Amino acid sequence: MKKTFIVLALAFAGVNAHAAALNVVTSSSDLASITREVGGDRVTVTSIARGYQDPHFVEPKPSFLLLLKNADLLEVVGLDLEIGWLPPLIDQSRNNKIRPGSAGYLDLSRGVEILDRPQGAVNRSMGDVHPLGNPHYWLDPANAVRIAIQVEKKLEELRPADAAYFQAQLNSFKTRMNDADKRWRAALAPFRGAKVVTYHNSWPNFMRRYGLNVVGYIEPKPGVPPSPSHLFDLIGMMKAQNVKVIIMEPYFDAKTPESLAQRTGAKLVVLYPSVGGAKSGTDDYFSLFDTDIDLLVKALKN
């Protein structure tokens, strides 16, 4: 009788250990996708921002407070990407576990390669939304792996009993990412050095990875809407440099990019900077890159 009880108690303990998945909230859908890869069935992951939203400007909703209130871990992109909307939500959630500096707060910008780091004093005047360096660093598979490594370390810290599981998940992710990256490199290899213009400065890591050259932006500074004089200069530069492709993120108004395409003869293509950015074909990090690279190759072939 006593023995049966112990066996049952152990069985329940085992069930409970699995049932209590870590509750992870991420600021972006890309961090969510990578965390699902590493955390597998030991985590429940929810992203606050949707992939089709501009991550600099997310409208706060009451439902976000509930998410944060119940979170064991909050992951952020950092570099002030979420400065306009996340800090008040963390405050109002009254969840001390996920405050900056606590064990349940993870800023992924700490362990990745950051481009466009400012030289000298940080300057937020003129509306520059990239004051600490480019926050769109997740758009490079090498950084995706660096994000996964940091996530694995943190999950292990919060759930030491599942360490071996998280390590195995991370290794599988690294292998699959390495294979996928080879495929993506091969697809873009014929276009090495091609010049493109992008709406927002979202793609420096991506373009450097695949050897493409961003020569201008529709925004005069990240977060600043285009002015007529800036567009006039941009058109002149695009014609002089024979730029064939304009890239825009899905959350901007297409009017300006369309008129720019018309006046320069360049092809306009919408690329998705985040998982879930399109209705289909961007369900996780791998399919996001498959879709974007396919779209980009088609545009560059023209």
Nearer to Zn ion by Cβ, of 116 and 290: the residue is 116
81, 86, 91, 96 alpha-carbon torsion, rounded to 10°: -70
Residue with Cβ nearer Zn ion (115 or 237): 115
Q: Which is nearer to Zn ion, 133 or 222 (CB)?
A: 222
Task: Tell the smallest beta-carbon distance from residue 128 to Zn ion (Å).
Answer: 10
Nearer residue to Zn ion within complex by CB, 43 or 139: 139
Question: What residue number has its CB nearest to Zn ion?
Answer: 222
Site string (206-235) toward Zn ion, x via CB under 5 A? ----------------x-------------
Q: Which two tokens stand for residue 240?
A: 């002089």
Type of residue at 108: L
Residue number with CB closer to Zn ion (79 or 158): 79
What gap in Å lies between CA 117 and CA 131, rounded to an integer?
8
Count of residues engaged in binding Zn ion, rule: CB under 5 A = 1
Least CB distance from residue 112 to Zn ion, whole Å?
A: 15
Nearest approach in angstroms of CB 134 to Zn ion is 7
163-190: burial string, b at 16+ Cβ within 10 Å, e else: eebbeebbeebbeebeebbeebeebbee
How is residue 39 written in tokens?
Answer: 């955390």
From the centroid of its chain, how far is CA 131? 18
3 state SS of 109 = helix
Work out how close the CB of 147 gets to Zn ion at its nearest, in angstroms, rounded to a whole number: 17
| Distance in Å, CB of 129 to Zn ion, minimum | 5
Whichever of 104 and 222 has its CB closer to Zn ion, that residue is 222
Question: Across the strands, what pairs with 43?
Answer: 22
Restricted to residues 248-277, the positions that interact with Zn ion (CB under 5 A) are none
If one counts every other C-beta atom within 10 angstroms of the C-beta of residue 235, the result is: 17
Site string for Zn ion, 5-24 (x = CB under 5 A): --------------------
State in angstroms the smallest separation of the CB of 54 from Zn ion.
Answer: 8
Q: How many helices (H) and strands (E) does the chain have?
A: 10, 8
Are the C-beta atoms of residues 278 and 272 closer than 8 Å to each other?
yes
Residues that bind Zn ion (CB under 5 A): 222
